[in-house]
Amino acid sequence: MTDLFLLPGDGIGPEVIAEVKRVAAALTPDLTLDEGLFGGIAYDTEGAPISDATLSAAMASKAVLMGAVGGPQWASAPRDKRPEAALLRLRSEMKVYANLRPALCFGPLADASSLKREVVEGLDLMIVRELTGGVYFGQPRGIETLANGQQRGFDTQVYTTSEIERVARVAFELARGRRNKVASAEKSNVMESGLLWREVVEALHKRDYADVELTHILADNAAMQIVRNPQQFDVMVMDNLFGDILSDISAQLTGSLGMLPSAALGDPGKPGLYEPIHGSAPDIAGQGLANPLAAILSFEMALRWSLDRAADADRLKAAVEKALEGGARTRDLGGEMGTTQMTDAVLAAL
Ligand code: IPM
Ligand code: MG
């Protein structure tokens, strides 16, 4: 069984995944790696943004690490052939319903955030985003033409008890190993699915996690609180759409989107899907400027959560911190380094 299946994808994806390979060669030379085409490049080469063969190979490995997908050249591809469709399919088929998106502000980067140093310094927030349900997948959806000639676009936001419960369970379990607090965000004041979300989280808390401090927060207020005082939060749990939005906001707290990894996990023992949160960044693709740290830290999460190598993960995280303390900065962090040089700094620290 392959340990790590790489899907470099589009834009800066191949550049940052190439750096992960260098790190893996130095830190964990015994790991078995394999790789496949994914996203726009797969569509151009194979006619589908993810082929069935690539999907099966990914699902048969212990962990999948993706670079990035998408770009303006595929904006007019048919909807089901778009790079983003491949990502949603991969998440759905791998059944990775819990997406861990940490917002960790490394001390030396506190001044790179657009928020004040005292607001973000020491920040360690974990957003748990539901990843395989909600309005991203709900049926019916579509764009239809009405009798009066107008068009009507519609999506369905839908959650079942078990979908809510399993992701909330992940949040509570994580909190127990951290500062023991969970904030659950929804719009129970206007949405039926939000009301059910709140009731299910509340019931699960009462039943199995009464020792964890639970608060319910409306998602709009959560957005405001994240920029006002993010350190009031430890673990936050929310649906797919709110998690997409609030994780981008929290990413900015840390100084740069180029710093943030993520892990998407399913049931225990199943392969996890790891991805840097930044997108394909077509504006800087191919220039060797991308910050490789989000991809390197995604590898760090894969070591920890899927490959049972916590000690290697600890070493890698410490090396990233040391490189930053030593002043290593790519352009997104206000520095001058290129992609390869940043990795050199991490390798030197290792
Ligand atoms: C993310 C991205 C994706 C999403 C896109 C690329 C489909 O924004 O991972 O946050 O919306 O989930
Ligand atoms: Mg997003």
Give me the CATH number covering residue 286.
3.40.718.10
For the stretch 169-211, pLDDT in tens is 999 999 999 999 999 999 999 999 999 999 999 999 999 999 9
User: Of 83-97, 245-259, 286-300, which gets the smallest average pLDDT?
Assistant: 245-259
Contacts of 308 (CB under 8 A, 6+ apart): none
pLDDT score of 111: 85
Quick check: is 53 in a domain? Answer: yes
Q: How many domains does the chain have?
A: 1
Q: Is 220 a catalytic residue?
A: yes
Percent share of the chain, pLDDT over 90: 91
Average pLDDT over residues 253-260: 85
- For β-strands 124-130 and 98-104, DSSP reports them as antiparallel
Quick check: is 50 in a domain? Answer: yes
Range of the domain at 10: 1-97+266-350
pLDDT score of 126: 97
Token pair recorded at residue 209? 């996690």
pTM (whole model) above 0.85: yes
pLDDT band at 251 (very low <50, low <70, confident <90, very high): confident
Q: Is 43 a catalytic residue?
A: no
Ligand number with the minimum distance to the CA of 240: 1
For the stretch 135-161, pLDDT in tens is 999 999 999 999 999 999 999 999 999
Quick check: is 216 in a domain? Answer: no
Q: What's the CA gap between 282 and 286, in Å, rounded?
A: 8
Quick check: is 306 in a domain? Answer: yes
29 alpha carbon – ligand 1 mean position (Å):
31
pLDDT score of 317: 96
| Residue-averaged pLDDT of the chain | 96
Residue 63 and residue 307 in contact, taking contact as beta carbons nearer than 8 Å? yes
Quick check: is 238 in a domain? Answer: no
19 alpha carbon – ligand 1 mean position (Å):
22
pLDDT score of 264: 98
pLDDT score of 339: 98
Residues counted in the chain = 350
Residue 171 and residue 237 in contact, taking contact as beta carbons nearer than 8 Å? yes
pLDDT band at 112 (very low <50, low <70, confident <90, very high): confident
| Protein residue with its CA nearest to atom 10 in ligand 1 | 244
pLDDT band at 257 (very low <50, low <70, confident <90, very high): confident
Quick check: is 327 in a domain? Answer: yes
Average pLDDT over residues 69-81: 93
Q: Is 30 a catalytic residue?
A: no
Q: What's the CA gap between 164 and 173, in Å, rounded?
A: 14
Quickly count: other Cβ atoms within 10 Å of residue 188's Cβ.
19
Residue 252 and residue 284 in contact, taking contact as beta carbons nearer than 8 Å? no
Quick check: is 177 in a domain? Answer: no
Assess whether the C-beta atom of 87 lies below 6 angstroms from ligand 1. Answer: yes
Residue 59 and residue 92 in contact, taking contact as beta carbons nearer than 8 Å? no
